[in-house]
């Protein structure tokens, strides 16, 4: 991942985030990626999408069609995010005699056979982490083909033109990178806390190490009570899970020789400010949100779509 080439001018593209509970988009100015041309949001009824899987395609398509019309996006090129619950990020060692132009073909042959995944028929992309005479290491991004196709086809059905898919940890990382809040030597844990999900991802040397979806009680019913204490009670378990993830990073991945040095917090939860305060008291490492001046450019709930807008290039994920 070449972080230094993430901010080149490009043509007008809509950046679309579809979650279980909401659709959002931002459109950046082609020659100033820190200024916004347009943005929009539409809340989704519960049950249309669950854990990233589309359950009521007809209703979702109808709502998305209304969004396309209202936001004047017809025939617009769009980037979108593969849903977090179905994405697997894995570091792999490959035969060191493979040439770089042979890696994709090797992955086509080996995915599902010698390279095991928790689902069949994956789409994938990869980045070379290290290539020497003795060693070839890649970072593999995979998701179930049918789910990615479902989203791409949905976008095409409402007269959009999907040109690229991405994963949310990379989008968030780009934004913190743009804010000059990440350093190569940091062991970072990015914590995304939304109304419908919690996702954590570890980064080191500008590269994601792993991503994990945490168990999380749905907040929809409790949000109607407007009692913050009730709303935030499930986060006691979330904080414990974050502790476990940090211990896993320290002892299982680095055998006690390295540990998470900073937490970066983002998401669209309505009480994220309070959650941030609790996490600052609870954890022994700094817990940061996006810093000035970027933090006030647009409402934090659009930060993920903004990070998607900083994506370099238009490569689609590859079908196996």
Listed in sequence order, the residues at least 6 apart from 63 whose beta carbon sits closer than 8 Å to its beta carbon are 23, 42, 44, 48
**Domain boundaries in the chain?**
85-145, 182-289
pLDDT in tens, 17-55: 999 999 999 998 877 777 788 999 999 999 999 989 999
Q: What is the mean pLDDT of residues 192-210?
A: 90
d(CA 280, CA 269): 17
* 223 has a pLDDT exceeding 60: no
Taking residues 244-269, report their average pLDDT: 94
- Whether the pLDDT of residue 188 is over 80: the answer is yes
More confident residue, 207 or 230: 207
pLDDT in tens, 104-158: 999 989 888 888 888 888 888 888 888 888 889 998 989 998 999 999 999 999 9
Q: Residue 258 has what pLDDT?
A: 94
pLDDT band at 11 (very low <50, low <70, confident <90, very high): low
Please name every residue paired with 42 in a beta bridge, in sequence order, or none if there are none.
Answer: 23
Of 25 and 295, the one with more pLDDT: 25
Q: What is the pTM of this model?
A: 0.85
The pLDDT mean for the chain works out to 86
In CATH terms, 85-145 corresponds, of 3.30.1490, 2.115.10, 3.40.720, 3.40.1350, to 3.30.1490
pLDDT, position 228: 67
pLDDT tens digits, 62-71: 999 999 999 9
210-237 burial, b at 16+ Cβ within 10 Å, e below that, comes to bbbbbebeebeebeeeeeeeebbeebee
Instruction: Please check whether the two domains, 85-145 and 182-289, share a CATH topology.
Output: no
Per-residue pLDDT at 3: 41
CA angle 30, 208, 32 (to 5 degrees): 10
Given this structure, which CATH class describes domain 182-289? alpha beta
């Amino acid at each position: 991942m070449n972080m230094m080439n993430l901010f080149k001018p490009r043509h007008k593209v809509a950046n679309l985030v579809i979650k279980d509970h909401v659709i959002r988009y931002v459109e950046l100015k082609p020659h100033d990626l820190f200024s916004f041309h347009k943005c929009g949001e539409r809340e989704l009824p519960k049950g249309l999408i669950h854990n990233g899987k589309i359950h009521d395609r007809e209703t979702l398509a109808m709502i998305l069609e209304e969004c396309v019309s209202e936001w004047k996006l017809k025939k617009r090129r769009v980037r979108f995010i593969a849903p977090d619950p179905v994405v697997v990020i894995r570091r792999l060692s490959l035969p060191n005699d493979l040439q770089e132009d042979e890696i994709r073909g090797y992955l086509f042959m080996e995915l599902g056979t010698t390279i095991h995944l928790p689902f069949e028929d994956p789409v994938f992309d990869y980045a070379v982490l290290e290539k020497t005479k003795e060693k070839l290491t890649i970072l593999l991004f995979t998701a179930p083909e049918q789910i990615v196709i479902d989203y791409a086809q949905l976008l095409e059905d409402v007269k959009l033109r999907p040109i690229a898919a991405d994963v949310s940890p990379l989008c968030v990382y780009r934004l913190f990178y743009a804010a000059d809040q990440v350093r190569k030597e940091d062991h970072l844990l990015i914590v995304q806390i939304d109304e419908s999900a919690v996702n954590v991802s570890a980064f080191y040397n500008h590269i994601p190490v792993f991503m994990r979806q945490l168990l999380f009680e749905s907040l929809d019913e409790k949000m109607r009570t407007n009692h913050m204490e009730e709303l935030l009670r499930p986060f006691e378990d979330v904080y414990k899970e974050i502790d476990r993830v940090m211990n896993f990073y320290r002892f299982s991945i680095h055998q006690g020789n390295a540990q998470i040095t900073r937490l970066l917090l983002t998401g669209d939860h309505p009480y994220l400010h309070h959650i941030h305060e609790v996490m600052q008291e609870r954890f022994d490492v700094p817990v940061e949100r996006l810093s000035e001046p970027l933090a006030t450019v647009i409402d934090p709930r659009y930060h993920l779509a903004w990070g998607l807008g900083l994506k370099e290039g238009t490569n689609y994920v590859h079908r196996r």
